[in-house]
């Protein structure tokens, strides 16, 4: 027989996850594989009329230390690590009565599930698998001789491999499963490490592992020549667009997912009925109203041209009335905690429109870190969760903002957090009326926001500019007074900015001369 093919004669099987075990039993019976197993797995396999040898009988060593020591034995690891093409290995295995093991099927103690179920520290520690990862690593290292399976979903493929090779596995298949096995143990260890560092309140550990499970390969990335895939984090408490339910439409693209995440992130800032319309990860319209339909109308009015082909997020149910309004324009994705049956029926005529049902925020959390890739490393930082309320405001001008202006200032500053820097937001009546995003100069962003406001006012058939009587939010301080002058010319009456420039006094003087009220937040919201 070619050394490339290894006949499967003997297997160790140890399963925490018993899913798809019928397919595995079929393989064992079909190829008359000798089975070594432990505890509950041995019991289940015997119930399917398969003869099983307990590991303790094979090693002549009992399970001990409350089951912590079962498979950590030379007869187990010798059988997994022995190389059949090396005479010295064969000689030593014969001397110590070690049989070669050709197949290892193991999945690990459910550590993450134990954590998510809220078990105490000691119980979580007991659900850290030791024997399983040790066997997996031994088998994966010796893939020259051993095939290792760590996922119940791979049983069907294993059956096809054995059928193709008359009960043997090929070297290329064993290499593939070895690669999967090392990924599995690395992922498992990373979950344990992250949990333990969190328990110890270690903010920035010496080493960091980024782990995730493949959801699907995407058609392409940000551009057609880039390949991409989406992975999900395995913390079940985390919520977001990756784990959302797709009620309608084809799978989301790379850009859809990126924009949808930005929309979801923004909408979570608000409890009152709110609509956010996103384009290229920037909001092009946001509004909070007593009615979700009114919020849609106001958000759309900010920039109806950019909204075409955009992503919409609602923090309330999409009703039939709202669906009828949304159905009038082309949208890529609509995100909401729920959709009425009538709304789903209305959207059904647009097969390419994706409807994403997001779990409500209650009892779920979002990731608390942001990671940005660099050429030779990556940056990690806390998520920008800093909030602002009336008690944080520092009024620095002679003129004081009205209570209505304060409400709009806080609203606009929330939006600024989610707009690419340099960011300028014009807002009025809890709705955006002009947004300037991602410019190298703050004055350019301010002027763009004013231009967009004029354009939107004209499209809406309004006699006056929507920016008249609005407030302005800036994500960072104004280094010069020119931004304020542009805002005043657009009709802004009140401004919120972090402050902190060496020219703050000049900017404050300019605001006083222009008759503007101005508030320093003390919070910067750069977003790059």
Instruction: For residue range 235-250, list pLDDT tens digits in order.
Output: 777 888 988 999 999 9
Question: Mean per-residue pLDDT for 340-365?
Answer: 84
The residues carrying an active-site annotation are 141, 280
Please check whether residue 521 is in contact with residue 496, taking contact to mean a CB–CB distance below 8 angstroms: yes
HSE on the CB side for 297, CA within 13 Å? 10
Two tokens, residue 521: 């937040």
Bigger pLDDT: 315 vs 370: 315
DSSP for 513-525 reads HHT-EEEE-S---
Say what the pLDDT of residue 77 is.
84
Residue 84 has pLDDT above 60, yes or no: yes
**Cα dist from 486 to 15, 116, 437, 492, whole Å:** 67, 52, 15, 9
User: In whole angstroms, what is the distance from residue 34 CA to residue 153 CA?
Assistant: 22
pLDDT digits (tens, 9 = 90+) for 407-448: 999 999 999 999 998 899 999 999 999 998 988 888 888 889
pLDDT digits (tens, 9 = 90+) for 174-194: 999 999 999 989 888 888 888
Say what the pLDDT of residue 64 is.
65
Two tokens, residue 119: 């078990």
- Max CA distance (Å), the chain: 97
pLDDT digits (tens, 9 = 90+) for 369-394: 888 888 888 888 878 888 888 888 89
Bigger pLDDT: 411 vs 45: 411
Strand, helix or coil for residue 115: helix
Two tokens, residue 331: 């949208």
Judge residue 189's burial from the number of C-beta atoms within 10 Å of its C-beta, 0-12 exposed, 13-18 middle, 19 or more buried: middle
- Torsion sign, CA atoms 221, 226, 227, 231: negative
User: In whole angstroms, what is the distance from residue 484 CA to residue 518 CA?
Assistant: 10
* Least trusted range by pLDDT, from 113-122, 250-259, 328-337, 507-516: 113-122
| Model confidence band, residue 67 (pLDDT cutoffs 50, 70, 90) | low
User: In whole angstroms, what is the distance from residue 311 CA to residue 331 CA?
Assistant: 6
Strand 377-382 and strand 369-374: the pairing is antiparallel
User: In whole angstroms, what is the distance from residue 348 CA to residue 355 CA?
Assistant: 10
User: In whole angstroms, what is the distance from residue 179 CA to residue 143 CA?
Assistant: 9
Please give the domain boundaries of the chain with CATH numbers for all domains: 5-199 (3.40.50.1380), 239-357 (3.40.140.20), 390-520 (3.40.140.20)
Per-chain mean pLDDT for the chain: 88
E strand residue ranges, 330-477:
331-336, 354-357, 369-374, 377-382, 394-395, 424-428, 431-436, 471-474
pLDDT digits (tens, 9 = 90+) for 495-515: 999 988 888 898 999 999 999
Contacts made by residues 455-458, CB under 8 angstroms, sequence distance 24+: 455/303, 455/305, 456/301, 456/302, 456/303, 456/304
Say what the pLDDT of residue 66 is.
64
pLDDT digits (tens, 9 = 90+) for 443-479: 888 889 888 888 888 888 888 888 889 999 998 888 8
The continuous run of DSSP H or E covering 286 comes out as strand 282-288
- Residue 422: asked if its preceding bond is cis (omega within 30°), the reply is yes
- Total-model pTM: 0.82
| Model confidence band, residue 360 (pLDDT cutoffs 50, 70, 90) | low
| DSSP summary character for residue 391 | G
The total number of residues shown for the chain amounts to 528
Backbone φ and ψ for 84, nearest 5 degrees, come out as -70, -20
E strand residue ranges, 298-348:
310-314, 331-336
pLDDT digits (tens, 9 = 90+) for 129-148: 888 888 899 999 999 899 99
Residue 234 has pLDDT above 80, yes or no: no
| Model confidence band, residue 362 (pLDDT cutoffs 50, 70, 90) | low
Say what the pLDDT of residue 1 is.
41
**Cα dist from 354 to 46, 61, 104, 307, 502, whole Å:** 47, 58, 42, 16, 48
Q: With CA atoms as reference, report the closest residue to 333 among 306, 358, 311.
A: 311
């Amino acid at each position: 027989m070619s050394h490339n093919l290894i006949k499967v004669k003997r297997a160790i099987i140890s399963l925490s996850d018993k899913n798809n075990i019928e397919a595995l039993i079929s393989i064992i019976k079909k190829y008359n594989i000798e089975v070594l197993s432990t505890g509950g797995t041995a019991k289940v396999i015997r119930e399917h009329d398969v003869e099983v040898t307990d590991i303790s009988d094979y090693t002549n060593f009992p399970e001990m230390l409350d089951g912590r020591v079962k498979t950590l034995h030379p007869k187990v690891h010798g059988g997994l690590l022995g190389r059949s093409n090396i005479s010295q290995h064969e000689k030593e295995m014969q001397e110590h009565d070690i049989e070669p093991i050709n197949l290892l099927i193991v999945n690990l103690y459910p550590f993450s599930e134990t954590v998510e179920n809220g078990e105490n520290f000691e119980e979580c520690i007991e659900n850290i698998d030791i024997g399983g990862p040790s066997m997996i690593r031994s088998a994966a290292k010796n893939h020259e001789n051993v095939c290792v399976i760590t996922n119940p979903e791979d049983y069907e493929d294993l059956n096809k491999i054995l059928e193709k090779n008359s009960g043997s596995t090929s070297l290329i298949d064993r290499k593939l499963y070895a690669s999967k096995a090392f990924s599995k143990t690395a992922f498992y260890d990373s979950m344990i490490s992250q949990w333990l560092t969190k328990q110890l309140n270690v903010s920035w550990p010496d080493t960091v592992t980024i782990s995730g499970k493949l959801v699907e390969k995407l058609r392409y990335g940000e551009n057609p020549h880039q390949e991409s895939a989406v992975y999900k984090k395995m913390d079940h408490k985390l919520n977001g667009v990756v784990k959302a339910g797709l009620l309608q439409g084809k799978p989301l693209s790379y850009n859809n997912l990126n924009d949808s995440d930005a929309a979801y992130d923004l909408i979570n800032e608000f409890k009152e009925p709110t609509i956010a319309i996103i384009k290229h990860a920037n909001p092009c319209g946001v509004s909070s109203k007593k009615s979700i339909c009114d919020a849609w109308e106001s958000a759309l009015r900010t920039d109806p041209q950019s909204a075409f082909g955009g992503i919409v997020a609602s923090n309330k149910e999409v009703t039939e009335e709202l669906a009828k309004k949304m159905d009038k324009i082309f949208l890529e994705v609509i995100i909401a905690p729920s959709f009425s049956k009538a709304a789903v029926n209305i959207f059904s005529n647009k097969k390419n429109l994706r409807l994403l049902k997001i779990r409500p925020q209650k009892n779920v959390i979002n990731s608390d870190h942001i990671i940005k890739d660099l050429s030779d490393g990556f940056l990690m930082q806390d998520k920008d969760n800093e909030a602002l309320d009336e008690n944080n405001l520092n009024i620095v001008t002679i003129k004081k903002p009205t209570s209505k202006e304060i409400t709009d200032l806080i609203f606009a500053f929330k939006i600024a957090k989610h707009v690419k820097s340099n960011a300028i937001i014009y807002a009025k009546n809890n709705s955006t009326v002009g947004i300037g995003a991602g410019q190298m100069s703050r004055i350019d962003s301010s002027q763009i926001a004013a231009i967009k406001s004029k354009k939107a006012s004209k499209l809406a058939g309004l006699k006056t500019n929507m920016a008249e009587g609005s407030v302005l939010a800036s994500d960072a301080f104004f280094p010069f007074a020119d931004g304020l002058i542009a805002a005043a010319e657009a009709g802004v009456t009140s401004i919120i900015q972090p402050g902190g420039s060496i020219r703050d006094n000049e900017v404050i003087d300019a605001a006083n001369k222009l008759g503007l009220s101005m508030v320093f937040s003390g919070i910067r919201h750069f977003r790059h």
